[in-house]
Amino acid sequence: MIGQFVEALDQFIPVPAEFARYEFGLAAGARILAVDQNLLSAVTAEGMPFAMDSDEGLLFDHVDLINLAMFGSRSGQSIPELAMRYFLRFAASPPATWFGPREWLVRVRTPATPIGGDPTARFRMQRPDVAAPGVEILESDAPANGPPGYQIAVRLTGEEATVRDPVARAIYEEMLHALGSGAVIYQTVPEALRMDHRRAWNLRMADCVVVARSLAERLNDVGLRARARRGYLLALVGNDHSWCELYEDGRWKPLDVVFAHLAGIEAYGARAEFVSTCRGSRFNRLLPCDAPDATALVFLNDQPAPSWAQVGVSAQPWGS
């Protein structure tokens, strides 16, 4: 099994040292990978980036661990692989279900336990953009019990459309090809590097935020009106997702290169027509938030929260 994890080290780009946060110990890292600690030690000897702490021993960056799990597991059963399959399961449903009005109850909470044992840790969460097209608020309230957060009932209505502008389509296709060919690797990227999206793209590493910000910038550079959005994909859990929007025909049309890329991967089971739908259509399960330029959705002590400090996002049919 070690061989596939060692090979994986050549299949993703490790987090550059200046962006890395080596905070996860050997035991925690092995749990993420669902492997023995000895195996992770052996992979470290083969090139997995780490820091050595005199008290805690080997420490790893959480993003590197997630990428190692995603590229090294190859079982289809690691948590990152399964999560991706569940998030995209809607793309296997009939296309008619992607656009019609759908009512959701969305609940968002901060982590239940203090981060790093710090009881003064303060979280701030970007709220849904209720002024966005296709978003209609039905009810809004704070949860009665538990950690701070919010809950909102929304009606999300999708729209089937296609981006017509040939320049926009060419840039979109170029970026989609970059991911598909492996010229740029689709992988997890730390939040700080997401905000330096040009550097990330030049390093050949991109996730949905890097792609959305890069595409919006390229479209703006050629004189088109575009913006990067960020919000939640509502599925088994609410998942942080980012996409680009182009203003055309008097309305904002989404351009989702990452959805199109993932839909092209057979293991995720998306319908063939889903790929072209990502070039202009709005889905009824993407809840945009007030996050200008696709900046972070969650802040910890006024800094973008690290990848491991995840909020809980629950989404289910409203009234169920």
Partner 1 sequence: MTSARTLIKENLDNPALLDDIADHDDLIMAGVNSGEMVRIALACERHLDREITDDELTRLKSVRAVADLLEQTGGS
Q: Does 107 bind partner 1 (CB under 8 A)?
A: yes
Closest to partner 1 by CB, 67 vs 214, is 67
Minimum distance between the CB of residue 34 and partner 1, rounded to whole angstroms?
A: 10
Closest to partner 1 by CB, 31 vs 127, is 31
Among 38, 75, 93, 162, the residue binding partner 1 under the rule CB under 8 A is 93
Closest to partner 1 by CB, 37 vs 310, is 310
Give every CB contact of residue 34 below 8 A, 6+ residues apart in sequence.
69, 73, 78, 79
Minimum distance between the CB of residue 201 and partner 1, rounded to whole angstroms?
A: 27
Give every CB contact of residue 147 below 8 A, 6+ residues apart in sequence.
109, 110, 111, 112
Query: d(Cα 62, Cα 54) in Å, to the nearest integer?
Result: 19
Among 4, 37, 307, 310, the residue binding partner 1 under the rule CB under 8 A is 310
Three-class DSSP category at 260 = helix
The footprint of partner 1 on this chain (CB under 8 A) covers a number of residues equal to 30
Closest to partner 1 by CB, 216 vs 311, is 311
Compute CA distances 287 → 193, 243, 266, whole Å: 24, 11, 26
Closest to partner 1 by CB, 140 vs 310, is 310
- Closest alpha carbon to 249 in 135, 133, 140: 133
Would you say the C-alpha torsion 153, 159, 165, 168 has a positive or negative sign? positive
Query: d(Cα 8, Cα 68) in Å, to the nearest integer?
Result: 6
Q: Does 52 bind partner 1 (CB under 8 A)?
A: no
Q: What are phi and psi of 210, to 5 degrees?
A: -60, -45
Query: d(Cα 140, Cα 151) in Å, to the nearest integer?
Result: 6
Amino acid type, 256: D
Q: Which residue has the tokens 């492997």?
A: 35
**C-beta of residue 228 within 8 angstroms of C-beta of residue 294:** yes
Residues 185-244 that bind partner 1 (CB under 8 A): 234-237, 239
Minimum distance between the CB of residue 148 and partner 1, rounded to whole angstroms?
A: 12
Closest to partner 1 by CB, 182 vs 317, is 317
Query: d(Cα 92, Cα 112) in Å, to the nearest integer?
Result: 33
Would you say the C-alpha torsion 132, 314, 189, 267 has a positive or negative sign? negative
Residues 63-92 that bind partner 1 (CB under 8 A): 77, 79, 82-83, 86, 89-90, 92
Residue 97 structure tokens: 């279900």
Residues 285-304 that bind partner 1 (CB under 8 A): none
Closest to partner 1 by CB, 47 vs 146, is 146
Minimum distance between the CB of residue 13 and partner 1, rounded to whole angstroms?
A: 23
Minimum distance between the CB of residue 146 and partner 1, rounded to whole angstroms?
A: 6
In the shown chain, the binding pattern of residues 112 to 141 toward partner 1, with x for contact by CB under 8 A and - for none, equals xx----------------------------
Distance of CA 317 to the CA centre of its chain: 22
Q: Does 142 bind partner 1 (CB under 8 A)?
A: no
Closest to partner 1 by CB, 92 vs 222, is 92
Closest to partner 1 by CB, 41 vs 314, is 314
* Residues of this chain that bind partner 1 (CB under 8 A): 77, 79, 82-83, 86, 89-90, 92-93, 97, 107, 109, 112-113, 143, 146, 149, 234-237, 239, 310, 312-317, 320
